[in-house]
Amino acid sequence: MKNGLTLICIVSPLVASSDFTSTFSVIPAWIVHVLFTIPVIGLFIFIATRKLRREVERKVTELRANETKFRALFDNSSQLMGLLDCDGTVRAANFTALSMINAQESDLVGIPFWETPWWRHSEELQMLLREGIVQCAEGEKIQFEATHLDGAGKSRAIDFYLTPVFNESGGVDFLIAFGYDMTHLKEIEDRDRHLQKMEAIGTLAGGIAHDFNNILAAMFGYLDLAALEEHENVHLHEAHDEIRNAANRARDLVSQILTFSRKGTPDRSPILLSNVVGEALKLIRSSLPTSIAMDTRISCDDYILGNSTQIHQVVMNLCTNAWHAMQDQTSGLLSVSLRHVPSAVDLQELHPGLLEQEYLELKISDTGSGMDMAVSEQVFNPYFTTKEQGKGTGLGLSMVHTIIASHDGVISLQSKSGVGTIFTILFPKIEYTPKESATVPVAVSTPENSTIHVLFVDDESMIVKSTKRFLEHEGFTVTAFTDSVQALEAFESTPQLFSVVVSDMSMPFMDGVDLLKTIKQINTAVPVVLCSGFNQREQELREEMPEINRFLQKPIALNQLVDEIRDILSKPL
């Protein structure tokens, strides 16, 4: 523009000069002036237009670059995002939001937000969203919890936000919708709550288990004494059997409670998983009705670090549940497979947080009645059962869950009503090569019962009375106390008198651990046995006190106690 003005300034005086005017005297001066001015103005307009065009092109290029950056940020956000008109019409949606419902943006632009697949499954949520859009269009920020169904039909927990975008005059131009997928966090929270419930029940169980097992121990003791009496009363024999059966059920129930209440690591060693599973399946196969077929596929011979008794419990429990799920059907199929999983990558979605290592996968499935989602979410909760009253305690699957967790494993289930259930368990694989033992057992003669003197200590007088009478009937010499301090004084006075010491764990004034420690300091040669109704420190004590020869769990059958005493005395210390 500056150049055009300069040109006009130069040309105008020239046109107005007398010499120039005289040359074109036949033409009026104003026409000559116009003829020379028009090209100059045209040149000026051309230069200005060209410069303006370049400026517009630059601005358009900048806008396109900014739009590309915005779209890249928009689409690559891990959160669900969308742009809405103030009336709730969809303007745009990012890739994360679209991929959740397997949709294209062109399918959604121009339709009301509440009619899209994110909200279509719930009229209640649609109403809540419409109210939120009205409030947001008036300048309010909106937040509420929602659920979206993904492309596979799975419910996703969403933390949802609506935010207004204001213009320079203070009005709302459009709305931004944000959604944070909280499903994984919710699952972690649910697992934490489940573990807290398990821990709470475990604490309760630990508090009552000792006293309850003492009561059971006294019952078993007097039943064993009654069995020693010679009598021909058949009805009395039957009554004793029924009492013993009831006591056994109570003992098994306490054992199940203690299984998932123990916080310590169970006594574990390398075990060949295929052997344990195979042994359990032999028992299951013999008890299955002929209407249920069994398909077994064991394709690995690898080791895990585990407790074979507890793993046996897991297999028996899950197979028994499968059997019960099919018992009302005319036919059914129980399938059990065991395979080696070289990598956990493909299992991360099913088991978040799974370590990158090799696993053994145990899968137990049935074609039974199955479960809906509401039941599936509760099956591992203590005392939850779908069985009729009196036919289940609700402890089986919670016990299974606890055992697997104590083995650093994971368990999941897939179930559908009317189709069946699949339990999948993963155990960490270990590298282990069994070594053949070259040791030759040393034969040690077992002394006669009449030469064995037992020091027995328990703070429950009923247990002391019944145990003393039974052991004496078996030929042992027994000195028994309900006071651990008095028992220690008796041992200190004649330490060589006693062949073996059997003590309860929890006692007033001096507990069984301190008593046996002191006894071992006095006479290291005397074998000692520690009994407990419930002891979370058992594994720790095994490591701290290797001098304790046996740990026995109450209630203890008196015949078993006799066998344990004779077995201890038959082995060199």
- Structural domain range at position 140: 80-181
More confident of the two residues 297 and 1: 297
pLDDT of residue 519: 92
Q: Who contacts 31 (Cβ-Cβ below 8 Å, separation ≥6)?
A: none
DSSP classification of residue 19: H
Domains: count for the chain = 4
How many whole angstroms separate alpha carbon 565 and alpha carbon 542?
19
My answer on whether 154 and 203 are in the same domain is no
Looking at the structure, tell me whether residues 421 and 280 fall in a common domain: yes
375 and 520 share one domain: no
pLDDT single digits (tens) 157-205:
999 999 999 988 889 999 999 999 988 888 888 777 766 776 676 666 6
Are 176 and 194 part of one and the same domain? no
Answer whether residue 438 shows pLDDT above 60: no
Indicate whether 292 and 401 sit together in one domain.
Answer: yes
For residue 155, is it within any domain?
Answer: yes
d(CA 144, CA 422): 35
272: β partners = 303
290 and 426 together in one domain: yes
Q: Is residue 536 part of a domain?
A: yes
Q: From CA 117, how far away is CA 152, in angstroms rounded?
A: 12
Task: Return d(Cα 48, Cα 458) in angstroms, integer.
Answer: 109
Q: How far is CA 352 from CA 114, 355, 365, 393, in A?
A: 32, 9, 22, 30
- 8 Å CB contact between 430 and 303: yes
Q: Is 125 left (phi over 0), alpha (psi -120 to 50) or beta?
A: alpha
Q: Which residue has the tokens 């069946």?
A: 420
Global pTM reads: 0.45
HEC-encoded secondary structure of 249-271: HHHHHHHHHHHHHCCCCCCCEEE
Asked if 512 and 426 sit in the same domain, the reply is: no
Q: Does some domain include residue 263?
A: no
CA angle 100, 102, 107 (to 5 degrees): 115
Res. 111 pLDDT band, cuts 50 70 90:
very high
Q: Are strands 550-553 and 500-504 parallel, antiparallel or unpaired?
A: unpaired
Of residues 208 and 341, more confidence is placed in: 341
Last residue of a domain, one of 181, 215, 248: 181
Beta strand spans in 34-134 (E): 80-84, 90-93
* Least confident piece of the model among 28-37, 56-65, 141-150: 28-37
The H or E element spanning position 296 is strand 292-298
Q: Are residues 249 and 289 in the same domain?
A: no
Whether 118 and 8 share a structural domain: no
Q: Is the C-alpha dihedral spanning 341, 346, 350, 356 positive or negative? A: positive
